[in-house]
């Protein structure tokens, strides 16, 4: 049965995901409500990772976007659900929030990757971009996640591969966003590419305008998503129409 794939299911993700099969997804890439504001759609959803843990394969990873306040609070919940911290990235935007003179203007957001199973069995494609300038680069062989270094090195060529930086600049979608907390496809694309094998399955319990799902389809992956707010259906239709142009423009 594949009729649950490549679409968004409307309802509370904790109930919707309970009907999905066990041990089938390669990764979860999610952007939950952080509970930082009093807005209606920003209510924290406790315990979403319990069903995520069931639907994922035994060796799999979960990328979670969130404010520092939110991410700090879910460490314990992720640990209780059997996940460990793997790494994090920073999404750098061209402009952000914060207008107080006694605070830095905030132009970034975090996403943390958790994993379970042996790190060597979790899908993690080489994280290269093809924009190197020629130089000799020391390269770690893929470590078993205990800090061992390999002795390998390679000489890069102009325009050749280099390791993707963990701070990734992608303009946000002010002016054209259809959802209030819309993530650009350009920040989801590297996570999908590196954490979900071609043809593999990524799940997103908090779809909003369907950013993760659209990035997945454009990159030849499958997805299954949930969203509690029926108003997001129209946003998703609009976003899907814009999507090929947006991915080309932002990756
Ligand atoms: C931070 S937004 C996601 C935005 C999305 N990344 C995008 O690019 O459009 C979180 C979404 O989760 C939805 N949501 C909140 N609680 C939920 C629940 N229990 N189950 C499913 N969706 C929920 C909200 O309605 C909101 O659209």
pLDDT(192) > 70: yes
In this prediction, residues 216-238 reach a mean pLDDT of 96
Same domain, 169 and 138: no
Look up the domain containing 92 and give its range.
Answer: 8-126+165-250
In this prediction, residues 114-142 reach a mean pLDDT of 83
Same domain, 158 and 216: no
Distance between Cα 212 and ligand 1 center (Å): 12
pLDDT in tens, 142-188: 666 665 555 566 666 777 778 889 999 999 888 889 998 999 999 99
- Token pair for residue 228? 């509690």
Same domain, 143 and 221: no
Q: How far apart are CA 173 and CA 169, in angstroms?
A: 13
Q: Which residues fall within 8 angstroms of residue 58, CB to CB, at 6 or more apart?
A: 23, 116, 117
| pLDDT for position 41 | 77
Same domain, 113 and 213: yes
| pLDDT for position 251 | 46
| pLDDT for position 94 | 87
Q: Please list the alpha-helical segments (H only) found in the chain.
A: 13-16, 48-55, 68-80, 185-195, 211-218, 232-250
Q: Which of 40-44, 63-67, 112-116 has the lowest mean pLDDT?
A: 40-44
Distance between Cα 229 and ligand 1 center (Å): 8
DSSP 3-state of 139: coil
| pLDDT for position 4 | 95
| pLDDT for position 195 | 98
Same domain, 56 and 135: no
Burial class of 161 by CB neighbour count within 10 A (0 to 12, 13 to 18, 19+): middle
Q: Among 138, 163, 188, identify where a domain stops.
A: 163
pLDDT(50) > 90: yes
Q: Please list the alpha-helical segments (H only) found in 41-196.
A: 48-55, 68-80, 185-195
Ligand 1 atom, smallest distance to 45 CA = 19
| pLDDT for position 224 | 98
Per DSSP, the residues of 232-247 read HHHHHHHHHHHHHHHH
pLDDT(47) > 90: yes
Pairing of the two strands 201-204 and 167-169: unpaired
| pLDDT for position 213 | 97
Q: What is the CATH number of the domain that holds 85?
A: 3.40.50.150
* CB of 213 shorter than 6 A to ligand 1: no
| pLDDT for position 137 | 66
In this prediction, residues 98-107 reach a mean pLDDT of 82
Same domain, 25 and 69: yes
Q: Name the residue at shortest CA distance from atom 7 of ligand 1.
A: 182
Pairing of the two strands 25-30 and 201-204: parallel
Same domain, 206 and 230: yes
Q: What are phi and psi of 33, to 5 degrees?
A: -65, 130
Considering the chain, what percentage of its residues have pLDDT values greater than 70? 88
pLDDT(246) > 70: no
| CA-based radius of gyration for the chain | 18
In this prediction, residues 186-203 reach a mean pLDDT of 97
59 is a domain residue: yes
Query: Running DSSP on this structure, what letter comes out for residue 212?
Result: H
| pLDDT for position 140 | 64
Same domain, 136 and 222: no
2 is a domain residue: no
Which one has a higher pLDDT value, 145 or 48? Answer: 48
Neighbours of 107 (CB within 10 A): 16
3 is a domain residue: no
Pairing of the two strands 167-169 and 84-97: parallel
1 is a domain residue: no
pLDDT(127) > 50: yes
Average pLDDT in the chain: 89
Asked if 65 contacts 110 with a C-beta cutoff of 8 angstroms, the reply is: yes
Same domain, 60 and 145: no
Using CA atoms, how far residue 153 sits from 55, 133, 147, 164, 166, in Å, is 38, 15, 17, 16, 20
Which one has a higher pLDDT value, 99 or 187? Answer: 187
Total count of domains within the chain = 2
pLDDT(39) > 90: no
Q: How far apart are CA 56 and CA 201, in angstroms?
A: 9
Q: How far apart are CA 153 and CA 191, in angstroms?
A: 25
In this prediction, residues 110-136 reach a mean pLDDT of 89
* CB of 66 shorter than 6 A to ligand 1: no
DSSP 3-state of 203: strand
Same domain, 185 and 140: no
pLDDT in tens, 21-32: 999 999 999 999
* CB of 211 shorter than 6 A to ligand 1: yes
């Amino acid at each position: 049965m594949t009729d649950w794939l490549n679409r968004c299911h409307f309802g509370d993700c904790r109930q919707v995901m309970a009907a999905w099969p066990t041990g089938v997804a390669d990764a979860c890439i999610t952007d939950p409500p952080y509970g930082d504001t009093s807005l209606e759609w920003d209510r924290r959803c406790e315990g979403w990772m319990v069903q995520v843990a069931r639907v994922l394969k035994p060796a799999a990873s979960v990328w979670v976007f969130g404010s520092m306040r939110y991410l700090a609070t879910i460490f314990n919940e992720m640990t209780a659900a059997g996940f460990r911290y793997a790494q994090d990235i920073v999404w750098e935007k061209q402009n952000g929030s914060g207008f107080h003179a006694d605070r830095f203007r905030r132009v970034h957001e975090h996403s943390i990757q958790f994993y379970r199973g042996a790190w060597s069995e979790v899908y993690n494609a080489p994280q290269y971009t093809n924009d190197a300038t020629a130089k000799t680069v020391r390269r770690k062989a893929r470590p078993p996640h205990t800090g061992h270094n390999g002795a390998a090195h390679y000489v890069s060529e102009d325009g050749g591969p280099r390791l993707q930086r963990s701070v990734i600049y992608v303009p946000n979608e002010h002016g054209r966003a259809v959802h209030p907390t819309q993530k650009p496809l350009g920040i989801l694309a590297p996570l999908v590419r590196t954490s979900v094998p071609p043809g593999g399955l990524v799940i997103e319990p908090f779809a909003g305008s369907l950013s993760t799902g659209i990035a997945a389809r454009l990159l030849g992956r499958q997805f299954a998503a949930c969203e509690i707010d029926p108003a997001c259906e129209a946003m998703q239709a609009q976003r899907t129409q814009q999507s090929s142009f947006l991915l080309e423009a932002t990756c």
